[in-house]
Amino acid sequence: MPAHAGEKARKTGVFHCATCGEKVSVQVGGTIPKCPNGHTEFDSRTQEPGNRS
């Protein structure tokens, strides 16, 4: 499930940076920010509501 900074989050969760592993939390419909290190691609999402993985 690749996602990119600037896109709208389709689901709430914690997005994991594909480059450095940093995490950003985004609510459904929110704009995905760059990771704290400035990267723009996220390769996974965890902590969806009802799923604490």
Residue 51 and residue 20: Cα distance in Å, rounded? 23
Query: What is the structure's pLDDT at 49?
Result: 61
User: Where does the chain show beta strands of DSSP type E?
Assistant: 3-4, 13-17, 23-26, 41-46
pLDDT digits 0-9 by tens, 5-53 = 999 999 999 999 999 999 999 999 999 999 999 999 999 999 866 544 4
Residue 28 and residue 53: Cα distance in Å, rounded? 17
Query: What is the structure's pLDDT at 47?
Result: 85
Q: What is the pTM of this model?
A: 0.83
